[in-house]
Each structure stands twice: as structure tokens, then as C-alpha cells.
């Protein structure tokens, strides 16, 4: 934030000092430069249907556009070369449009739109070590898009106090970073798409409702994180899917202080890890789907009721853990389809909760613990041999059942309380 304000202040000072171009309505200002270390400044104050364009070919060039208090204005900057900088500032405008295209390495593009609506930003960079940033404040129906093709690029979008805004970042290359931050908004949408390896993607949606966040990553050694705080009816999705064998992806989703939220993580790379945390919510849903070996899936739901947690794993040696704390009528379910898997469900301090584990592989282990609750139900199904199943319950009127098929199975149920029921079937 500090760097942004410094950039904005510097831009305003440059414009006041230069007085390069001045316009009101239906005016067009263009600048074309070839060479190195050039500077182009265009200033348009007030008016309607103004257009500003700057084109630069060379290295270490700077192009700046300032448009204040107008409608349906357009700003376009095109740069080809190394270490160039493009900045656009549009204040108090409606239906304004910004397009920046940079080709080369080490370039920077910064766009700021304030107190406007129906504004649009598009930044496209082709090269390595580039930075693109878009800031939109106090607006509705605004759209910001960043497209980067190359290695070690950084893309960021910040939208504050708006409704029905859209932010999208698309990156192709390796060692890429993307962040989207949406504050105090409703019906906002954020999406990051990254392809190849060693990427980091973060989406933050704070104090908003009915928002949607999605991260799609293809490759290996990628990290994805979505945080949604203080909102209801939000949706978060992370897809880390590959057409060939990859490894070591990480995905995390945090949703807090809201109800009716939904979280989904889908992974198919070996030794990947997925974690979903939902805090203080009602009617929330969390799902982890993992295919391939050595996967780890974790879900934590704390302080809510009528929540649902589900983990589906199809890969040998995978681990699944679900924890639900202090809730009522919660449901936890784990399905594992290969051998050597481990599943644990822990439910504490709630009533009318349901926990189930289904395993279809040898040498698997399943443990369910329901502590300090009543009218809870726990069930384990193991369909092949050499399995271990354990259920622990404390409280009243609880039900526990274990069903095992095959040889060398082990089953154990421990209950403390009154009116409880135990069923063990080995066949």
C-alpha cells in the first residue's frame, strides 16, 4: 500500500510539472517514441470520450496517463523493450477503460482507478521478471484482468468496497506469483490460473458475502491459498490437476465467521497436501478429493452446526483427517480406495453428529473418536483384509458399528456412558 501511494504521488507531481497534454471532451492525445530512457506524460482533466495513447520502443522508458473526473475515457500504453514502466491513474470516472501491453523483460505496469463504476483494466505482459498491479477503489461492476506469459512474473489485483467486481489473473511460465485482494465487497469474483511449475497463488476476500474465489494450477511444486473472512454464502475452489505425473502441490482454504460457505480442493499429483478450515459457521460444506499416492487431506470445522466434511482419496499410503469441534448435527465422511491408507475422524462436544469411514484396501487403519456428546453415530466399513478399526465414544445414547470383510481384521469399540449401542460384524 505504501508503494502504491508513493507511485500515485510521483505520477501526480510529474503531470503537474510537465503539462504535456491537456484535454476536456472528445479529445485524443497520442505519443510515439523510439529509443531509450524516454518519458511520455498525458493529462486529461474532466470531460467525456477522451482518449490517451502512448507507444514506446526501447529500454528504460516511462509512460504515464492521468484522467480525472471523466466518463467513457480510454487510456492505452504499449511498450516493447526492457525495464520499462507504464502507469495510469483514473479518478472519479465511469465506464473508463485501460489497456497496457508490454513486451520484454523487467517491465512494470501500475493502474489505479478510484470512485468509479463499470471500469475496465487489462494488462498484458510477454516476458520474464515483469510486475503488473491493478487497484480499484469504491466501485461497482469493475473488471481487472492480468495476463502474463513468461517466467518469474508477479501479478496483483486490489479491489476495495465494491460490488459485483471481477478480478482475473492468467499466468504461463515457472516461478510465478499472483495475489488478489477484495475487501468489503458483495458478489465479487476472483480467479487465478497458473500453468507449469513452482507457482504461488493467493486470494483474499474479506468482509464480503456471495463471493466466489477459484485457483486453477497445472504442474508441480505449486502452492494455492484462499482466505474468506467475515462473510456468508461464499464459495472457494482450488483445482490442482495434471495430465501427467506431478508431485508436491499444496492447497489451503480458510473460511471464518460465516454461514452457508462452500470449499472444494481437487488434486491428482503424488505427495500433495490439502487443508480446509471453516470457523464459527453454520451449514458450511468442505470437500477434499485426491487421487494418486501419498496424499494428505485435512478438514477442520470449529464452532458450527449442520456442517458437512468429506474426503475422498484414491491412492496408496494416503492420510485423511477430519476434526469437528463444538457443533451439532455435523457430518464427517472419509472414503479411501487403496491399501496402506489411514483415516481419522474426531468430533468433540456435539450432539447428533455422524461419522463414517469406508476403506477398500489392505493394511488400512480407521479411527473414529466422538467425545462428550449424545445421540452420535459412528460407523466403519473395511472391505479387505489386514485392517484395523477403532471407535471411541463418551456420552449417552451413542451408536457405534464396525463391519469388516476378509482375513486378519482387528476391530475395537470403546464406549463410556449410558444407553449406548455397539455392533461388530466380521465376515
Mean pLDDT of 202-209: 92
Mean pLDDT of 175-179: 99
Burial zone of 186 (CB within 10 Å; 0-12 exposed, 13-18 middle, 19+ buried): middle
- Residues 6+ positions from 18 with CB-CB distance below 8 Å: 41, 43
Residue 92 lies in a domain: yes
Residue 203, pLDDT above cutoff 70: yes
Question: Can you list the pairs that 389-395 forms with residues at least 24 positions away whose Cβ atoms lie under 8 Å?
Answer: 389/357, 389/365, 390/366, 390/414, 391/367, 392/367, 392/368, 393/369, 393/417, 393/420, 394/370, 395/370, 395/371, 395/420
- Check: pTM over 0.85? Answer yes or no: yes
pLDDT in tens, 357-385: 999 999 999 999 999 989 999 999 999 99
Distance CA 203, CA 191 (A): 8
What is the phi/psi pair of residue 95, to 5°? 55, 40
Residue 19, pLDDT above cutoff 60: no
pLDDT at 25: 76
Distance CA 122, CA 319 (A): 42
Q: What's the chain's average pLDDT?
A: 91
Say if CB 355 and CB 368 are below 8 A apart: yes
Q: Could you tell me the pLDDT band of residue 163, with boundaries at 50, 70 and 90?
A: confident
Distance CA 33, CA 105 (A): 19
pLDDT in tens, 93-122: 788 999 999 999 999 999 999 987 889 999
Residue 246, pLDDT above cutoff 80: no
pLDDT at 382: 98
Residue 62 lies in a domain: yes
Q: In a 3-state reduction of DSSP, which class is residue 184?
A: coil
Residue 369 lies in a domain: no
DSSP class per residue in 285-314? EEEEEEESTT-EEEEEEES-BS-EEEEEEE
Residue 81 lies in a domain: yes
Residue 162 lies in a domain: yes
Q: What's the domain range around 136?
A: 1-184
- Residues 6+ positions from 161 with CB-CB distance below 8 Å: 137, 138, 183, 184, 185
Higher pLDDT, 232 or 181: 181
Q: Could you tell me the pLDDT band of residue 280, with boundaries at 50, 70 and 90?
A: confident
Q: Could you tell me the pLDDT band of residue 403, with boundaries at 50, 70 and 90?
A: very high
Number of domains in the chain: 1
Residue 164 lies in a domain: yes
Higher pLDDT, 233 or 194: 194
Distance CA 299, CA 392 (A): 20
Cell of residue 8, nine digits: 500515485
Q: Could you tell me the pLDDT band of residue 158, with boundaries at 50, 70 and 90?
A: very high
Distance CA 263, CA 309 (A): 10
Mean pLDDT of 139-161: 95
Q: Could you tell me the pLDDT band of residue 23, with boundaries at 50, 70 and 90?
A: very low
Residue 247, pLDDT above cutoff 90: no
Beta bridge partners of 381: 358, 403
Burial zone of 6 (CB within 10 Å; 0-12 exposed, 13-18 middle, 19+ buried): exposed
Residue 296 lies in a domain: no
pLDDT at 9: 39
Q: Could you tell me the pLDDT band of residue 415, with boundaries at 50, 70 and 90?
A: very high
Percent of the chain with pLDDT over 90: 77
Residue 3, pLDDT above cutoff 50: no
Burial 401-418 (b: 16+ CB within 10 A, else e): bbbbeeeebebebebeee
Mean pLDDT of 222-240: 94
Mean pLDDT of 39-43: 98
Q: In a 3-state reduction of DSSP, which class is residue 12?
A: helix
Q: E strand or H helix at 366, and its extent?
A: strand 365-374
Residue 1, pLDDT above cutoff 50: no
With the C-alpha atoms ordered 289, 295, 300, 305, is the resulting torsion angle positive or negative? positive
pLDDT at 24: 62
pLDDT at 245: 66
β-strands 39-48, 354-359 pairing:
unpaired
Residue 61 lies in a domain: yes
Q: Could you tell me the pLDDT band of residue 8, with boundaries at 50, 70 and 90?
A: very low
Amino acid at each position: 500500500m505504501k508503494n502504491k501511494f508513493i507511485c500515485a504521488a510521483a505520477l501526480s507531481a510529474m503531470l503537474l510539472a510537465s503539462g504535456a497534454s491537456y484535454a476536456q471532451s472528445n479529445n485524443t492525445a497520442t505519443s510515439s517514441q523510439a529509443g531509450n530512457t524516454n518519458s511520455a506524460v498525458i493529462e486529461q482533466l474532466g470531460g467525456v470520450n477522451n482518449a490517451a495513447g502512448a507507444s514506446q520502443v526501447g529500454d528504460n522508458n516511462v509512460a504515464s496517463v492521468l484522467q480525472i473526473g471523466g466518463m467513457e475515457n480510454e487510456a492505452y500504453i504499449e511498450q516493447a523493450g526492457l525495464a520499462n514502466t507504464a502507469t495510469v491513474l483514473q479518478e472519479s470516472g465511469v465506464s473508463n477503460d485501460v489497456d497496457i501491453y508490454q513486451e520484454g523483460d523487467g517491465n512494470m505496469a501500475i493502474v489505479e482507478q478510484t470512485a468509479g463504476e463499470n471500469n475496465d483494466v487489462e494488462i498484458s505482459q510477454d516476458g520474464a521478471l515483469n510486475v503488473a498491479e491493478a487497484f480499484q477503489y469504491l466501485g461497482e461492476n469493475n473488471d481487472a484482468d492480468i495476463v502474463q506469459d513468461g517466467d518469474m512474473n508477479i501479478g496483483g489485483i486490489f479491489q476495495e468496497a465494491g460490488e459485483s467486481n471481477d478480478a482475473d489473473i492468467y499466468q504461463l511460465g515457472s516461478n510465478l506469483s499472483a495475489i488478489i485482494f477484495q475487501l468489503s465487497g458483495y458478489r465479487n469474483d476472483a480467479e487465478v490460473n497458473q500453468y507449469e511449475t513452482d507457482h504461488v497463488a493467493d486470494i483474499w476476500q474479506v468482509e464480503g458475502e456471495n463471493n466466489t474465489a477459484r485457483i486453477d494450477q497445472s504442474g508441480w511444486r505449486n502452492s494455492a491459498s484462499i482466505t474468506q473472512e467475515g462473510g456468508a454464502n461464499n464459495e472457494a475452489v482450488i483445482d490442482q490437476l495434471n495430465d501427467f505425473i506431478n508431485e508436491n502441490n499444496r492447497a489451503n482454504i480458510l473460511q471464518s465467521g460465516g454461514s452457508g460457505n462452500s470449499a472444494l480442493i481437487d488434486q491428482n499429483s503424488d505427495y500433495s497436501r490439502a487443508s480446509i478450515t471453516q470457523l464459527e459457521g453454520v451449514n458450511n460444506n468442505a470437500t477434499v478429493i485426491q487421487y494418486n499416492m501419498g496424499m494428505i487431506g485435512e478438514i477442520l470445522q470449529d464452532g458450527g452446526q449442520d456442517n458437512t466434511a468429506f474426503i475422498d482419496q484414491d491412492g496408496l499410503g494416503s492420510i485423511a483427517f477430519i476434526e469437528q469441534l463444538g457443533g451439532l448435527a455435523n457430518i464427517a465422511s472419509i472414503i479411501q480406495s487403496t491399501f496402506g491408507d489411514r483415516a481419522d475422524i474426531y468430533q468433540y462436544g456435539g450432539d447428533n453428529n455422524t461419522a463414517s469411514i469406508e476403506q477398500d484396501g489392505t493394511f488400512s487403519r480407521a479411527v473414529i473418536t466422538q467425545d462428550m456428546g449424545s445421540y452420535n453415530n459412528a460407523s466403519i466399513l473395511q472391505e479387505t483384509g489386514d485392517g484395523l478399526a477403532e471407535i471411541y465414544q463418551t456420552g449417552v445414547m451413542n451408536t457405534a458399528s464396525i463391519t469388516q470383510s476378509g482375513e486378519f481384521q482387528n476391530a475395537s469399540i470403546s464406549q463410556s456412558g449410558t444407553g449406548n449401542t455397539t455392533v461388530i460384524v466380521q465376515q
